[in-house]
Amino acid sequence: MNFRDWNEQQDLTQFLHHEARLLDEHRWDEWQKLFTPDGLYWVPLVHGQADHLNHASLFCEDALLRSMRARRLEQARAYSQQPPTRTVHVLGNIALESRDDDAGCTVRSTFLLLEWRKTEQRTFGGSVLHTLRRADDGWRIQTKRVDLVNCDAPHEALQVFL
């Protein structure tokens, strides 16, 4: 790995850690600004799901839907957030998958998410594929695909962003 590649890897790693911190701290507005205007947040319902258009998904959210969910999570009277859900994201195996000519790249990582709500603790894990575009002030998420290990299992209501 040459110096340029090492610097880019560090830059991408810091970006992903920053995103995780925003999610854990419920800084939804800042998190949403990490996306391109047409950015997509997608959590497939089954393993190996080819696309989000022809199949049901756990989540498939554009800017409007992400914003609506974030506003719901912030509502003082939202029963599902009394008390607010607490989370910790742990990232690993961050690797640059590919670069493209449009100042973008694809980054794969793994994650564990610990969620605490009321008296219950849940753990989620899987892999994430970020398609990123370079902007004037840093990276932006064009697509965030979260493949849960147990995506096809029954789940209690999923509230927070993975």
Show Cβ contacts of residue 140 under 8 Å, excluding neighbours closer than 6 positions. 34, 35, 36, 39, 132, 133, 134
Q: What is the model's pLDDT at position 95? A: 94
pLDDT value of position 1: 57
Q: What is the mean pLDDT of residues 24-32?
A: 95
**What does the pLDDT read at residue 84?**
77
State what percent of residues in the chain have pLDDT above 90. 66
> Taking residues 71-81, what's their average pLDDT?
73
pLDDT digits (tens, 9 = 90+) for 90-132: 999 999 999 887 789 999 999 999 999 888 899 999 999 999 9
Give the pLDDT confidence score for residue 8 in this predicted structure. 83
Q: Thinking of the domain 3-148, which architecture would CATH place it in?
A: Roll (3.10)
pLDDT score recorded for residue 63: 97
Interval 32-56: pLDDT, tens: 999 999 999 999 999 999 999 999 9
3-state SS of the chain? CCHHHHHHHHHHHHHHHHHHHHHHCCCHHHHHCCEEEEEEEEEECCCCCCCCCCCCEEEEECHHHHHHHHHHHHCCCCHHHCCCCEEEEEEEEEEEEEEECCCEEEEEEEEEEEEEECCEEEEEEEEEEEEEEEECCEEEEEEEEEEECCCCCCCCCCCCCC
Average pLDDT over every residue of 126-147: 96
What is the predicted pLDDT for the residue at 157? 81
Mean pLDDT, rounded, of the chain: 90
Amino acid at residue number 137:
D
